[in-house]
């Protein structure tokens, strides 16, 4: 259980229910939805809806599995801590560090994206300075307390939710000719089939679309990490898990449906201006580009804020379990893991530097080598849940307040789909799918090798002590993971 009184003794329950609710809702709305959807539409046409539906279904299943484990044992390490217990320390170590790597690279990507928008508004300040300012401000909010992170994310996510909600309502009315004062001549359900059909580039484009949209869903799991610092972790996890279906249905499928019905999928405006800007422009809404820039900037800041929080909490959990420097597990009197936050943001700053100095070499390697981590994480969650269900049923069945549907069949089906997507990416040379998987596998192999060497060294250090001490060490690791729980 997390300490609430002793400085440096753990995380604290600083997130309120409204924070967790908005983190759960906003977590599935990344900047990738606004920025990356146009390439998916250009590739699959209206059939991109099937790509989003396929990935959305996969995310729902994975989140259900994670919800089952996290409701039974809410912890700041989330799936990494579950993998540690279910599959072994090598699994918790490897997926924890890969996930941390993914988010610190995202920090650089999002800081740069935000800086581009801000420089467009105030060109007197250079782009690198804007990236620095954004990173420093959000680092400061994370260093104050978990409550300040929650408050910032509450408003960032709130703006995203309201903006997409308004877009769906206004766009939907225009599609059906119910928006007064707007002559949306191109809008209509006919856009789904009139321009070379629903699948203009063939059924295979659905899978290519999957590759282009799958990474915009990363972040759905943040609510399970944040739940460890809430007043009622079990309730928070259960609520976010149960609501994932409508969140994906409304915000992803709903908004993309509006885009592809407002405009023909092959409209030049979608490719040139971006899908959401083009859709707003088609309605004659003044300053549509700047409105969308503001919404994208909000999404970028939200992603940065959550990315820094998520990376630092994963580093904290790794430190607590002995898989990272012990300093990562130290917290202030407010329950803030300062060293874990600073270490994460420093790597983020380094990545930003590489983006400006070596964008086509070092930074491109970082982005590609972390690109498939989302799929690795989801795959590990599948295998962890297969083992953890048995452990929970044996040790504390009363904690199974969230259950995976049709266990174990849907779990295996989800795992098979993830492996299939990874395999299909290896055949994709047009959108760098093969390069992304191979580089990500290379980094994963390096991390796995370090994990096995670390375990071997630990084993030698305890050599000659027999099986009983080994069991004791394992129990201590489990206890360390449990100590970060709240409630």
Structure confidence at residue 8 as a pLDDT band (50, 70, 90): very low
Q: Round to whole Å and give the CA distance between 362 and 130.
A: 21
Partner residues linked to 15 by β-bridges: 230
3-class secondary-structure state, position 346: helix
The answer as to whether 3 is a domain residue is: no
11 found inside a domain? no
Do the domain assignments include residue 8? no
Quick one: average pLDDT of 97-124?
Answer: 91
Q: How far apart are CA 213 and CA 80, in angstroms?
A: 24
Cα dihedral 228→230→234→240 (10° resolution): -100
Whether 5 maps to a domain, the answer reads no
Instruction: Please state, as a whole number, how many other Cβ atoms lie within 10 Å of the Cβ of residue 380.
Output: 25
Per-residue pLDDT at 233 = 83
Rg of the chain over Cα atoms, rounded to whole angstroms, equals 22
> The domain containing residue 354 runs over which residues?
17-483
What Cα–Cα distance (Å) separates residue 149 from each residue in 77, 184, 307, 336, 354? 18, 41, 11, 11, 27
Eight-state DSSP code of residue 465: S
Q: Which residues, including other chains, have CB under 8 Å from residue 397's CB and lie 6 or more apart?
A: none
Which CB contacts under 8 angstroms, 24+ apart, belong to 275-282? 275/34, 275/37, 275/38, 275/41, 276/34, 276/37, 276/167, 278/38, 279/167, 279/171, 280/167, 282/184, 282/186, 282/187
The gap from C-alpha 54 to its chain's centroid, in whole angstroms, comes to 17
Class of residue 407 by CB neighbours under 10 A (exposed 0-12, middle 13-18, buried 19+): middle
> For the ranges 180-194, 324-338, 395-409, which has the lowest average pLDDT?
180-194
At residue 160, the pLDDT reads 87
Is 217 a member of any domain?
yes
Asked if the model's pLDDT at residue 416 lies above 80, the reply is: yes
Average pLDDT over residues 394-414: 94
What are the Cα distances from residue 7, in Å, to 219, 232, 330, 399, 479? 30, 22, 9, 30, 20
* pLDDT confidence band for 303 (50 / 70 / 90): confident
Tell me, yes or no, whether 158 lies in a domain: yes
Tell me the CATH number at 446.
Answer: 1.20.1740.10
Nearest-angstrom CA–CA distance, 7 and 14: 14
pTM of the model: 0.88
**What is the structure's pLDDT at 28?**
66
Summarised one tens digit per residue, pLDDT across range 227-280 is 878 878 888 888 888 888 888 898 899 999 999 999 999 999 998 888 988 998
Look up residue 176 and give its two tokens: 């059906």
Question: Confidence class of residue 486 from pLDDT cuts 50, 70 and 90?
Answer: very low
pLDDT at 133 over 50: yes
Residue 1 is assigned to a structural domain of this protein: no
Q: Is the pLDDT of residue 406 over 90?
A: yes
Q: Is the pLDDT of residue 483 over 70?
A: no
Cβ atoms of residues 354 and 109 within 8 Å: no
pLDDT at 480 over 70: no
Burial class (CB in 10 A: 0-12, 13-18, 19+), 373: buried
For residue 301, the 8-state DSSP code is H
**What value, to the nearest 5°, has the Cα angle with vertex 311 and ends 88 and 253?**
95
Query: SS3 for 191-205, per residue?
Result: HHCCCCCCCCCCCHH
CA 213 – CA 275 distance, rounded (Å):
14
Asked if 422 and 437 touch (Cβ cutoff 8 Å), the reply is: yes
Query: Residue holding tokens 């915000």?
Result: 251
3-state secondary structure of 15: strand
Cα 449 from chain centroid (whole Å): 25
Count of the separate structural domains present in the chain: 1
Q: What is the pLDDT of residue 27?
A: 65
């Amino acid at each position: 259980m997390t300490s609430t009184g002793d400085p440096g003794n753990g995380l604290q329950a600083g997130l309120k229910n409204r924070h967790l609710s908005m983190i759960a809702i906003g977590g599935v709305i990344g900047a990738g939805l606004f920025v990356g959807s146009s390439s998916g539409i250009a590739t699959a046409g209206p059939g991109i809806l099937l790509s989003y539906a396929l990935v959305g279904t996969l995310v729902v299943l994975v989140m259900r599995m994670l919800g089952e484990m996290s409701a039974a044992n809410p912890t700041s390490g989330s799936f990494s801590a579950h993998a540690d217990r279910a599959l072994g320390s090598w699994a918790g170590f490897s997926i924890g560090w890969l996930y941390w790597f993914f988010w610190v690279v995202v920090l650089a990507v999002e800081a740069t994206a935000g800086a581009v928008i801000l420089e467009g508004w105030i060109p007197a300040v250079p782009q690198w300075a804007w990236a620095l300012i954004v990173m420093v401000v959000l680092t400061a909010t994370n260093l104050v307390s978990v409550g300040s992170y929650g408050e910032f994310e509450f408003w960032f996510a709130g703006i995203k939710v309201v903006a997409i909600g308004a877009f769906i309502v206004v766009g939907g009315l225009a599609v059906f000719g119910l928006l007064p004062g707007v002559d949306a001549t191109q809008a209509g359900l006919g856009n789904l089939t009139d321009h070379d059909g629903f699948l203009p580039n063939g059924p295979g484009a659905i899978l290519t679309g999957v590759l282009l949209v799958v990474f915009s869903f990363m972040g759905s799991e943040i609510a399970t990490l944040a739940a460890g610092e809430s007043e009622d972790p079990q309730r928070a996890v259960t609520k976010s898990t149960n609501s994932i279906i409508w969140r994906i249905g409304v915000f992803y499928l709903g908004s993309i449906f509006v885009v592809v019905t407002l405009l023909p999928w092959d409209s030049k405006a979608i490719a040139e201006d971006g899908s959401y800007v083009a859709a707003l422009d088609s309605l004659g809404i003044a300053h549509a580009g700047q409105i969308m820039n503001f919404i994208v900037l909000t999404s970028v800041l939200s992603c940065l804020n959550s990315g820094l929080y998520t990376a630092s909490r994963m580093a904290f959990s790794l430190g607590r379990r002995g898989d990272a420097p012990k300093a990562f597990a130290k917290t202030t009197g407010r329950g803030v893991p300062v060293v874990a936050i600073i270490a994460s943001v420093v790597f983020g700053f380094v990545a930003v530097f590489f983006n400006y100095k070596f964008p086509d070499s070092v930074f491109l390697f970082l982005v590609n080598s972390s690109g498939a981590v989302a799929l690795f994480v989801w795959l590990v969650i599948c295998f962890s849940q297969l083992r953890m269900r048995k452990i929970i049923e044996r040790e504390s069945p009363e904690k199974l307040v969230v259950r995976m549907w049709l266990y174990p069949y849907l779990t295996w089906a989800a795992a098979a789909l993830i492996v299939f997507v990874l395999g299909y990416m290896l055949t994709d040379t047009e959108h760098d799918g093969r390069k992304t998987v191979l580089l990500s596998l290379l980094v994963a192999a390096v991390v796995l090798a370090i994990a096995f060497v670390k375990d071997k060294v630990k084993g030698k250090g305890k050599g000659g002590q027999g099986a009983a001490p080994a069991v004791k060490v394992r129990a201590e690791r489990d206890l360390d993971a449990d100590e970060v729980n709240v409630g």
